[in-house]
């Protein structure tokens, strides 16, 4: 199963050519911010979701206890208004380079 996910990602436009490098650059900025806050990028992402409002409930999936514990650590990460603004600057809507799926799959969406 994991191997098929890797192959699917390898063929996705976001993981090819210039798109891949642009997206890695975005990840690097989030990793830097997470390091500054003393958390992992996953914890930062979950904390950001939790900061969006009481009506947002992240449901992260995991198969490993260590990842569950890491995810729970997001509850201790405080996201300030400045943090939210910084994340919005790093990752505005549509910031990811490339479409999520290859053209044939994109055409099949919302049918």
Q: Cβ atoms within 10 A of the Cβ of 43, count? A: 20
Tell me what pLDDT residue 80 has.
96
Range among 15-19, 39-43, 60-64 with highest mean pLDDT value: 39-43
Contacts of 29 (CB under 8 A, 6+ apart): 90
Please give the CATH architecture assigned to the domain spanning 2-108: Alpha-Beta Barrel (3.20)
Output the DSSP codes for 36-51. Answer: HHTS-HHHHHHHHHHT
| pLDDT score of 34 | 98
The model's confidence at residue 50, banded by pLDDT at 50, 70 and 90, is: very high
What are the pLDDT digits (tens) for 70-110?
A: 999 999 999 999 999 999 999 998 888 888 887 777 788 77
């Amino acid at each position: 199963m994991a191997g098929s996910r890797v192959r699917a990602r390898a063929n996705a436009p976001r993981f090819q050519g210039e798109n891949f490098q642009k997206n890695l650059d975005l990840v690097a900025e989030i990793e830097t911010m997470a390091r500054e806050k003393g958390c992992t990028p996953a914890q930062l992402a979950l904390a950001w979701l939790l900061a969006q409002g009481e009506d947002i409930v992240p449901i992260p999936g995991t198969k490993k206890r260590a990842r569950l514990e890491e995810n729970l650590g997001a509850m201790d990460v405080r996201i300030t208004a400045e943090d939210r603004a910084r994340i919005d600057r790093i990752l505005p809507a549509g910031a990811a380079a490339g479409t999520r799926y290859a053209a044939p799959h994109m055409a099949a969406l919302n049918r």
